[in-house]
């Protein structure tokens, strides 16, 4: 026992010694927006209600500006309205050039959210004792890209997903039936999480490196 205790102590000292010779170094974001003077943002589109589109667009803009303060945004409105304003039918090279000229933006963010239908999972722990549970959840998939208005080229794109539970029901021979339904809108609840994961490339981070 003493041998193992001594080994553990030596290992701890070695780890501490290693840490004492490292420093925390800032790492710039993978996607730096400083090269773009002004950015346009087209309202996010989803297969949910319009309030979620507004929420996602606002969250995206807030989280980008929190990660890179000073980023300049022009809110362009919905995809349909901005295309109508430049006489376009889709966000192709021609439409992007016209958007850049009309609104004075160097690049445009476009994003989508797709929610699944509620999915119910049944788990049987012990059939003989009638122990089991049922839970229903919704999945959301978010994606976005940044397109230059001068060339129409896509310079960044990413995606993320999240799940939220709608309700849960547990059945037990000993405890009876228990469970409940969420009072919140699960689709709206997951917007902040979806956008947070989506915008990771814009956040500076840090890592430990050996001290010089």
Residue 3 is predicted with a pLDDT of: 47
Token pair, residue 21, equals 């010779």
Whole-model pTM: value is 0.77
- Give the other-Cβ count within 10 Å of 86's Cβ: 18
Arithmetic mean of pLDDT over the chain? 84
Distance in angstroms (rounded) separating the CA atoms of residues 23 and 25: 6
Residue 110 pLDDT level (bands cut at 50, 70, 90) = very high
| Number of residues in the chain | 212
Token pair, residue 102, equals 């009309």
Token pair, residue 182, equals 């969420």
Name the nearest CA neighbour of 194 among 153, 125, 140: 140
Token pair, residue 206, equals 């840090």
Distance in angstroms (rounded) separating the CA atoms of residues 23 and 98: 48
- Top mean pLDDT of 53-67, 132-146, 154-168, 181-195 is at 53-67
* Phi-psi sector, 74: left (phi>0), alpha (psi -120 to 50), beta: beta
Residue 123 is predicted with a pLDDT of: 66
* The pLDDT of residue 16 is above 80: no
* The CATH number fitting domain 2-210, selected from 2.60.120, 2.40.30, 3.10.20, 3.30.160: 3.30.160
């Amino acid at each position: 026992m003493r041998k193992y205790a001594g080994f553990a102590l030596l290992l701890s000292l070695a780890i501490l010694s290693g840490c004492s010779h490292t420093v925390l170094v800032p790492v710039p974001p993978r996607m730096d927006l400083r090269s773009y003077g002004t950015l346009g943002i087209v309202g996010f589109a989803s297969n949910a209600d319009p309030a979620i589109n507004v929420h996602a667009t606002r969250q995206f803009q807030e989280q980008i500006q929190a990660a890179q303060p000073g980023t300049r945004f022009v809110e362009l409105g919905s995809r349909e309205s901005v295309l109508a304003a430049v006489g376009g039918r889709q966000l192709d090279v021609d439409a992007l050039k016209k958007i850049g000229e009309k609104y004075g933006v160097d690049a445009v963010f476009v994003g989508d959210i797709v929610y699944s239908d509620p999915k119910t999972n049944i788990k049987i722990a012990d059939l003989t004792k009638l122990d089991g549970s049922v839970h229903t959840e919704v999945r959301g998939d978010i994606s976005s890209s940044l397109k230059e208005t001068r060339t129409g080229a896509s310079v960044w794109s990413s995606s993320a997903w999240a799940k939220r539970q709608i309700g849960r029901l547990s059945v037990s021979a000993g405890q009876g039936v228990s469970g409940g339904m969420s009072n919140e809108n699960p689709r709206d609840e997951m917007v902040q999480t979806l956008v947070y994961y989506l915008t990771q490339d814009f956040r500076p981070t840090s890592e430990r490196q050996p001290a010089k």
